[in-house]
Amino acid sequence: MYFVYILKCGDGSLYTGITTNIARRLLEHKKGLGGNYTRSHGAARIVYSERKRNRSTASRREAEIKSWSRQKKIKLITPYVKLRL
């Protein structure tokens, strides 16, 4: 099982990635063990995730989301974030 996730960074930017364990991956990002992007922008919290059956499907979805504008990503995460407030 894989997860595609969107992380809100400390500077307000959005980072999209994939993992098999969301809690572990967030901790890695916060400790500076994540990608270069989150090391320089700071990791704040996971604002969206979706489950995928395998790495291939997760990677395709990650690439799709990464190609979107910030505005389109915000439309995706807004209902999820409202549920968590």
Contact 73, 23 (CB under 8 A): no
Range of the domain at 46: 2-84
First and final C-alpha spacing in the chain: 27
**Tens of pLDDT, residues 12-39:** 999 999 999 999 999 999 888 877 888 8
CA 48 to chain centre: 6
Contact 3, 50 (CB under 8 A): yes
**pTM (whole model) above 0.75:** yes
Q: How confident is the model at residue 44 (pLDDT cuts 50, 70, 90)?
A: confident
If one counts the domains in the chain, the total is 1
Average pLDDT, the chain: 91
- Looking up residue 35, the CATH number of its domain turns out to be 3.40.1440.10
